[in-house]
């Protein structure tokens, strides 16, 4: 229970997506004596402390903290002139460029809510996010206007572009002019500073990957942001003013935005942005800019290892952090040997702002685990078959991972049923299966919905994937269950072979034989399907629902399949 009489999620649901409390009066004006907290302070404080220190490197641009903050205040002035104020929701579809933090913090300065949109999305998905969030406007990179234009029009959200002069699109009666936010901001006077916000006011709405249907909007509060950034800056990330972070993760995603940009700015470090990740480009940037910190998802680690095998030079990294999905233990070890720095694997979700647990310098690392919970966060393992209560399980037993602490979102936007389902007895149900050992280290077993039930046995795909990734011919693999008349489900391995390996029946037979030697009989794959690539979401996770649908729609073989073994 909170000091206001009920939990943030309960108050969020009760007010249909608008939080109220003793410090806001419901309209963004603080009441006397109410606590105020703006996440815009993450940037403003560092700009006050280190105005001449480099905050962002983006191509030829080198932007100081003072300049970045001043630009955000001018962006805010332009948005305010267009009627944007406290509580308004603003779509932010901006590439990894200096315009993202400028617009992001401008929105927070006004007491409005940022709604980041992945620049790779298509018009239908963009329109859903803008409509569902009730976005008042969309700030959009000029290069993304082709997809964003129709979506914003359908959602009734006026567009301001960044990254190019004001654009005129169409002809005749269909002619439209899109003002350039950055162009207007260059001539605007800055606003005075951030609008005070209550800790439970919504700072950001982050949309989930939508692997189980339409994406849901997770409402992240100012307190969520400030606490998660301040906590993880110290541990696990240990960010300091001397660090240089490679910003290769999309800033629209929680990992790049909060763990990367947020902790970097809070510490006064430098963030080197990549517009779009390529392994060769990342290695070049890390070498030329002297990057000390890398944050990435497993697909990036795979690609960096492949690229490094073709060149002798190595960046002088101090440490690296992996998240988003499981990093195979042998990949972690190979990366450490190749780049000469420790890799810390962790765990988080969009709904948890995002960090839950991480391997941290304060304790011995345990490869294969995601470490211990971050400061102020509790993790427990609950019996996964019990939905209406939390029944804790002892150390070593597999169950559903449940979380509580300062990192929990306020709820899902305009989805009281999903919000109520997600929370039980004050705990957030992650939908992930895992276990805690006697020392409190957390191991992720798999997604609850991805578990394969074969002949009455639970098969956890991650364990099978880890075993298959040790095969010298396997570059990527995803294990899914497909319908089977005898066993209910059969274990199917979808494999992307390493370069130079021919995806044929002989390789399929080799993988099946490998499984016979290294994987228990009830969980080894009886079917092997080859694809040129796996379907990935914006965070680098394999979209297993999409993959399963592909296999089922083509009777077990996708259009890029080269061979199948049974």
Asked whether residue 560 carries a pLDDT value surpassing 50, the answer given is no
The residue among 360, 352, 370, 345 whose CA lies nearest residue 437 is: 370
Give me the pLDDT at residue 170, please.
Answer: 57
- Are 357 and 370 spatial neighbours (Cβ–Cβ below 8 Å)? yes
Query: Please, what is the average pLDDT of the chain?
Result: 89
Q: How confident is the model at residue 210 (pLDDT cuts 50, 70, 90)?
A: low
CA angle 267, 333, 471 (to 5 degrees): 135
Containing 100, the helix (H) or strand (E) segment is helix 99-109
Report residue 546's pLDDT band, with 50, 70 and 90 as the boundaries: confident
**Contacts with 529 (C-beta within 8 Å, 6 or more apart), sequence order:** 492, 493, 494, 495, 551, 556, 557, 558, 561, 563, 564
Summarised one tens digit per residue, pLDDT across range 403-424 is 999 999 999 999 999 999 999 9
Contact 342, 411 (CB under 8 A): no
Beta-carbon contacts of residue 562 (< 8 Å; ≥ 6 apart):
502, 503, 504, 530
- The phi-psi region of residue 131 (left if phi > 0; otherwise alpha if psi is between -120 and 50; otherwise beta) is alpha
Cβ atoms < 10 Å from Cβ of 204 = 27
DSSP 84: -
DSSP state, 94? -
Cα–Cα distance, 463 to 518 (Å, whole number): 11
d(CA 402, CA 407): 12
Q: Is the peptide bond preceding residue 209 cis, with omega within 30 degrees of 0?
A: no
What are the structure tokens assigned to 539, written together?
A: 């965070």
- Dist. CA 233–CA 46, nearest whole Å: 13
pLDDT classification of 6: cutoffs 50, 70, 90: very low
Half-sphere exposure at residue 353, Cβ-oriented, CA atoms within 13 angstroms: 33
Say yes or no to pLDDT of 197 above 50. Answer: yes
Q: Are 489 and 450 contacting, i.e. CB atoms less than 8 angstroms apart?
A: no
CA dihedral over 14, 15, 19, 24, signed as positive or negative: negative
Mean pLDDT calculated for residue range 240-254: 97
- The answer to whether 284 and 309 have CB atoms below 8 angstroms apart is no
The helix (run of H) or strand (run of E) holding residue 132 is helix 123-133
**119 SS3 class:** coil
For residue 62, the 8-state DSSP code is E
Stretch 475-492: mean pLDDT: 88
Name which CATH class applies to 451-565. Answer: alpha beta
Mean pLDDT confidence for 90-101: 98
pLDDT confidence of residue 206: 97
CB 253 within 8 A of CB 92: no
Beta bridge partners of 92: 116, 139
Sign of CA dihedral 184, 185, 187, 193: positive
pLDDT at 480 over 60: yes
Token readout for 325 is: 């999905």
**Two tokens, residue 305:** 């290892």
Selected residue with higher pLDDT from 288 and 1: 288
Partners of residue 244 on adjacent β-strands: 270
Tokens of 401: 């991972």
Q: How many CA atoms lie within 13 A of 60 on its CB side?
A: 0
Q: Is the pLDDT of residue 500 over 80?
A: no
Q: Given this model, what pLDDT does residue 8 score?
A: 52
* Tokens linked to 112: 């409005």
pLDDT of residue 446: 87
CA–CA dist 148, 166 (Å, integer): 15
- pLDDT tens across 306-347, in order? 999 999 989 999 999 999 888 888 899 999 999 999 999 999
**Distance from CA of residue 161 to its chain's centroid?**
24
Alpha-helical segments (H) within 290-345: 298-308, 329-339
DSSP calls for 319-331: EEEE-SSPPPHHH
Banded model confidence at residue 25, pLDDT cuts 50, 70, 90: very low
Contact assessment for residue 351 and residue 428, using Cβ atoms and an 8 Å cutoff: yes
DSSP of 237-284: S---TT-EEEE-S-TTSHIIIIIIIIHHHHHT-EEEE-SS--HHHHHH
What share of the chain has pLDDT > 70, as a percent?
89
Helix axes 298-308, 329-339, angle to 10 degrees: 40
For residue 166, is pLDDT > 70?
A: yes
- Give residue 285's pLDDT: 97
Q: What is the percent of the chain where pLDDT is above 90?
A: 70
Residue 553's Cβ-count burial label (10 Å; 0-12, 13-18, 19+) is exposed
Rg (CA), the chain: 24
Task: Specify the residue for token string 């992307």.
Answer: 496
pLDDT category of residue 379 using cuts at 50, 70 and 90: very high
- Any idea which of 66-70, 106-110, 143-147, 440-444 has the lowest mean pLDDT? 143-147
Question: Which ranges constitute the DSSP H helices of 500-561?
Answer: 505-518, 544-553
For residues 324 and 232, which has the higher predicted lDDT (pLDDT)?
A: 232
User: Distance (Å, rounded) from C-alpha 92 to C-alpha 276?
Assistant: 17
User: CA-based angle 564:494:487, to the nearest 5?
Assistant: 75
Among candidate residues 489, 484, 491, the one with its CA nearest the CA of residue 464: 491
pLDDT at 14 over 80: no
At residue 121, what are phi and psi to the nearest 5 degrees? Answer: -70, 155
In contact, 123 and 213? CB cutoff 8 Å: no
């Amino acid at each position: 229970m909170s000091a206001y009489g009920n939990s943030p999620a309960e108050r969020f649901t009760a007010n249909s997506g608008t939080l109220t409390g003793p410090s806001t009066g419901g309209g963004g004006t603080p009441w006397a004596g109410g606590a105020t907290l703006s996440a815009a302070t993450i940037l403003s404080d560092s700009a006050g402390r280190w105005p001449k220190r480099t905050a962002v490197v983006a191509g030829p641009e080198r932007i100081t903290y003072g300049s970045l903050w001043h630009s955000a205040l001018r962006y805010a002035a332009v948005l305010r002139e267009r009627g944007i104020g406290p509580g308004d929701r603003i779509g932010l579809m901006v590439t990894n460029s200096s315009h993202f933090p400028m617009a992001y913090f401008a929105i927070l300065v006004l007491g409005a809510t940022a709604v980041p949109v992945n620049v790779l999305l298509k018009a239908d998905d963009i329109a859903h996010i803008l409509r569902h969030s009730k976005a008042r406007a969309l700030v959009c990179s000029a290069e993304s206007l082709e997809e964003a234009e129709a979506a914003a029009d359908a959602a009734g959200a006026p567009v301001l572009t960044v990254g190019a002069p004001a654009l005129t699109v169409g002809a005749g009666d269909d002619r439209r002019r899109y003002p350039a936010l950055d162009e207007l901001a260059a001539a605007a006077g800055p606003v005075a500073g951030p609008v005070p916000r209550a800790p439970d006011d919504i700072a950001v709405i982050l949309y989930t990957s939508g692997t189980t249907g339409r994406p849901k909007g997770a409402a992240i509060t100012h307190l969520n942001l400030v606490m998660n950034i301040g906590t993880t800056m110290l541990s696990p990330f240990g960010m300091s003013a001397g660090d240089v972070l490679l910003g290769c993760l999309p800033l629209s995603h929680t990992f790049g935005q909060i763990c990367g940009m947020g902790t970097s700015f809070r510490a006064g470090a430098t963030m080197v942005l990549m517009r779009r990740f390529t392994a060769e480009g990342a290695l070049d940037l890390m070498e030329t800019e002297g990057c000390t910190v890398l944050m990435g998802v497993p697909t990036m680690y795979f690609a960096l290892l492949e690229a490094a095998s073709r060149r002798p030079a190595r960046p002088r990294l101090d440490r690296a952090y992996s998240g988003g999905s499981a990093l195979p233990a042998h990949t972690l070890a190979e990366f450490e040997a190749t780049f000469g720095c420790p890799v810390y694997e962790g765990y988080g979700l969009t709904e948890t702002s995002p960090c839950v647990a991480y391997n941290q310098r304060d304790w011995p690392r345990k490869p294969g685990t995601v470490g211990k919970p971050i400061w102020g966060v509790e993790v427990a393992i609950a019996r996964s078959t019990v939905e209406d209560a939390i029944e804790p399980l002892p150390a070593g037993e597999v169950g559903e991972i449940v979380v509580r602490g300062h990192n929990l979102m306020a709820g899902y936007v305009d989805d009281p049923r999903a919000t109520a389902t997600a929370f039980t007895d004050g705990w957030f149900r992650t939908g992930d299966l895992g276990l805690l050992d006697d020392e409190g280290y957390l191991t992720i077993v798999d997604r609850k919905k991805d578990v394969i039930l074969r002949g009455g046995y639970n098969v956890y795909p991650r364990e099978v994937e880890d075993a298959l990734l040790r095969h010298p011919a396997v570059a990527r693999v995803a294990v899914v269950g497909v319908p089977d008349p005898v066993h209910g489900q059969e274990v199917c391995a979808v494999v992307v072979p390493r370069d130079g390996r021919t995806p044929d029946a002989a390789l399929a037979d080799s993988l099946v034989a490998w499984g016979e030697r290294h994987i228990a009989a009830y969980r080894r794959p009886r079917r092997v399907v080859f694809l040129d690539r796996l379907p990935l979401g914006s965070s680098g996770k394999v979209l297993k629902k999409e993959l399963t649908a592909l296999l089922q729609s083509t009777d077990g073989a996708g259009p890029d399949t080269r061979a199948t073994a049974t």
